[in-house]
Amino acid sequence: MKTFKKDFLWGGAIAANQAEGAYLEDGKGINVTDVSRGLVYEPDEKVIDGKFYPTHEAIDFYHTYKEDLKLMSGMGFNCFRTSISWARIFPHGDENEPNEAGLKFYDDLFNEMNELGMEPIVTISHYETPLHLYDEYGGWENRKLIEFFTRYCKVIFQRYKDQVRYWMTFNEINNVHTIPFAAGAIKPEKTDHSMQCRFQAAHNMFVASSKANKLCHEIIPEAKIGCMLSLSGIYPHTCKPEDVLGAYQLRRRSLFFSDVMMRGYYPSYANRWFEEHHVHLDIQPGDLEIIKEYPSDYLGFSYYRTTTYKDGMPILGHTGGLIGEKNPYLKETPWGWQIDPIGFRYVLNELYDRYQKPLFVVENGMGNVDVLEGDQIHDNYRIDYLRSHIQQMKEAVADGVDLMGYTYWGPIDIVSAGTGEMKKRYGFIYVDRDNDGKGTGKRYKKDSYEWYKKVIESNGEELDD
């Protein structure tokens, strides 16, 4: 049957660093994304006085969350995904005692969600490693971060055990390969051995994630804790065998992360990578055992588009996924992200066939240029994107995929992670703020707001205009 479960989770997703603003308020420290204009740009070593960083104010969700969550509730959200800014809880990341003001903010935020009937879906680290952990320790290449992360997780699990039942450890952990500073607080280009740096950071994050899984199940037995990856799709550019094999091997570079975190062990194909790239991981006694014993409960992932791989091309990527050759059969957004709803169904089946564990689509959406006409925004292009993707998501459910929920990325306009723009808008709710941080901050409902409300009310059955 092409229907969603009765308890299907419908909602939207944001990240603390792209929405909250208030970047030093109430004792918050500096995270790695606080020194970046956007992830496509080279980050600064520190915050430069007088330089504009769009995330420092963002959309001021720190102060407007009650108003904003009420708007989400108006669409019928039964869940809402956000992240906890690590540096709000431990400003440097390595303290022994947490910052009470930061803990109090998330108390209030999660209480507000619960009162509105929304399950908080919480990412523990969404490109938000405290900058001090890079400056002092070199980021996730250093095993000491396992201890710091575990301490952080213990504090938030104990504090929010009655408020939060769904967790994810690291956002898009596989982007340690493509945007390593944001994902892993590392700069491999500054080391003598780039691949060693990336894989060692990944290993340490795997151990930390499994330790977090263990803590979560001990402190909140009824909770579910998953991993989260960027898994937009990849096709061979042609049927040339080298393109086909190359695309397969490239896909493994992402699935390697979920293979370890979902299955609980290193896949055999990784041995060849390590040998060819002269990678020698520092694996301490007990590491492989805890990875094996405490895998992820579910796979959360982002899907925005597909790309194609041509033999010999350089491997690049950003928050939307890996970047390859254009597919001539697909249309694209104004930012060049190709729109492929059938690819969405393909990826859902690919992942469920591989793991046979529940999946959660925690990011999917389209960035576009929205024009405010009086107090209205007509965004039929967003409705078309959503309709086609939800239709294919239903097909995947009919195929047998066990799907937990769908949180559309950016239900309210926020700062783009990649480009730092406000002009690149995803939301059902328009925020009057421009790329330079100017504007009233006033919120306006777009046409897609009422459309998504009907989808949720009908549990995905009503997809017409």
Domain that holds residue 318: 9-458
Structure tokens at 165: 């039942």
Quote the CA–CA distance of 187 and 198 in Å, as a whole number. 9
Give the whole-angstrom CA distance, residue 170 versus residue 124: 6
Report if residue 43 sits inside a domain.
yes
Tell me how many domains the chain contains: 1
Tell me the β-bridge partners of 407. 11
3-class SS of residue 240:
coil
Residue 340 near residue 323 (C-beta atoms within 8 A)? no
**pLDDT for res 207:** 98
Which of 210, 96, 108, 200 is closest to 152 using CA atoms?
96
First CA to last CA across the chain, in angstroms?
A: 23
Kindly report, residue by residue over 379-409, the tens digit of the pLDDT.
999 999 999 999 999 999 999 999 999 999 9
Is residue 451 one of the residues assigned to a domain?
yes
Nearest to 330 by CA among 319, 313, 344: 344
Claim: this prediction has a pTM higher than 0.85: yes
Domain assignment of residue 78, yes or no: yes
| Residue 128, token pair as written in the block | 């938000």
Considering only CA atoms, give the Rg of the chain.
Answer: 21
What pLDDT is attached to residue 122? Answer: 98
Domain annotation covers residue 465:
no
AA identity, residue 440 = T
What stretches in the chain show pLDDT beneath 70?
1
The verdict on residue 198 lying in a domain is yes
**Contact between residue 9 and residue 74 where contact means Cβ atoms under 8 Å apart:** no
pLDDT at 1: 56
Asked, for residue 66, whether it belongs to a domain, the answer is yes
Nearest to 99, CA basis, from 32, 21, 29, 148: 29
Those residues whose C-beta lies under 8 Å from the C-beta of residue 366, and which sit 6 or more positions away, are 304, 333, 337, 339, 381, 382, 385, 386, 426
- pLDDT of 459: 97
| Identified catalytic residue from 95, 222, 363, 457 | 363
3, 397 in Cβ contact below 8 A?
A: yes
Cβ burial, residue 221 (10 Å; 0-12/13-18/19+) = exposed
- The reply to whether 35 falls in a domain is yes
Q: Is residue 63 part of a domain?
A: yes
| CATH code at position 281 | 3.20.20.80
| DSSP per-residue string spanning 11-30 | EEE--HHHHT--TTGGG---
Strand 429-431 with 443-445, pairing? antiparallel
Closest CA to 231 of 299, 288, 293: 299
363 catalytic residue (yes or no): yes
